């Protein structure tokens, strides 16, 4: 059992000004929508393919043992939404170390490039096979390892009653993911099968074009583990 403690980062995400210090990789359009941050691609995926997707990184370096919470509003699909976390250079460098190769939203640069990260896809409605059998996927990279997956309770956009409250806990080897307080996914890293347990690092949002979604009420809190 994990208990939230003090807040280490908070952002209302009440429009594009709220992320003016965030780092964009790829081309993303940021807009205000009902006092929330609406994000979508700028490049046409029909023309640019997988280079139309993007990542938006919070600039803060977080410790381990955190709880990340945010409100999610899926607005237009098809598409896919992800949270990256525990992101660093493969040799422990800061994610934005200028010696690392430049990244611009192209997915292989994140899962098989110069960084280590965990990445959770929680709205996988991009391709027909994903919409037909909806799952949340957790991957560990470098290496694009699918470490666990679970059923995704999120409906198509036309049936969505937003917001959906998302909560991710990263505590040493443990990863837990909740939607509206329902435990969706849980994984324990053995520190050997896919390399050492990742500690600390950056978090970021990713969407696959042409997804449109809005975000609000981001918070990151320290957590502690209690034994019942």
- pLDDT (tens digit, 9 = 90+) per residue, 140-151? 999 999 999 999
**189: Cα within 13 Å, side-chain hemisphere:** 22
Residues in the chain, total: 228
pLDDT score at 228: 64
Q: Which CATH fold would you assign to the domain 2-9+61-204+217-225?
A: Jelly Rolls (2.60.120)
Ranges of the chain with pLDDT below 50: none
CA distance 116 to 93: 10
Structure token pair of residue 137: 């996927």
CA distance 167 to 120: 12
pLDDT score at 49: 96
Query: Is-contact 106 53, C-beta < 8 A?
Result: yes
From residue 149, give the alpha-carbon distance in Å to each of 124, 128, 133, 209. Answer: 12, 18, 12, 22
pLDDT score at 227: 81
Element spanning 57, H or E:
strand 54-57
- pLDDT (tens digit, 9 = 90+) per residue, 150-170? 999 999 999 999 999 999 999
Q: In the chain, what are the domain boundaries?
A: 2-9+61-204+217-225
Structure token pair of residue 88: 């660093």
Kindly state the greatest CA–CA separation across the chain: 54
Does this model's pTM top 0.85? My answer is: yes
CA distance 182 to 203: 22
Three-state secondary-structure class, residue 68: strand
Task: Please tell me whether the peptide bond between 168 and the residue prior to it is cis, using omega within 30 degrees of 0.
Answer: no
């Amino acid at each position: 059992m994990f208990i939230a403690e003090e807040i280490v980062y908070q952002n209302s995400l009440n429009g594009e000004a709220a992320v003016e210090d965030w780092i964009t990789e790829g081309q993303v359009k940021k807009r205000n929508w009902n006092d929330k941050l609406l994000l979508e691609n700028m490049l046409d995926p029909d023309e640019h393919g997988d280079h139309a997707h993007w990542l938006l990184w919070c600039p803060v370096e977080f410790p381990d043992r955190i709880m990340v919470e945010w409100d999610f509003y899926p607005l237009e699909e098809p598409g896919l939404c992800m949270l990256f976390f525990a992101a660093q250079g493969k040799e422990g460098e800061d994610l934005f170390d200028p010696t690392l190769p430049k990244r611009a939203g192209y997915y292989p640069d994140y899962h098989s490039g110069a960084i280590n990260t965990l990445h959770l896809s929680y709205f996988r409605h991009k391709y027909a096979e994903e919409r037909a059998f909806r799952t949340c996927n957790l991957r560990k990279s470098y290496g694009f390892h699918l470490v666990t997956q679970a059923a995704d309770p999120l409906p198509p956009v036309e049936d969505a009653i937003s917001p959906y409250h998302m909560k991710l806990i990263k505590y040493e080897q443990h990863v837990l993911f909740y939607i509206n307080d329902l435990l969706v996914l849980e994984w324990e890293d053995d520190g050997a099968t896919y390399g050492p347990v990742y500690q600390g690092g950056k978090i970021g949002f990713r969407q696959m074009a042409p997804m449109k979604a809005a975000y609000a009420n981001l918070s990151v809190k320290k957590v502690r583990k209690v034994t019942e």
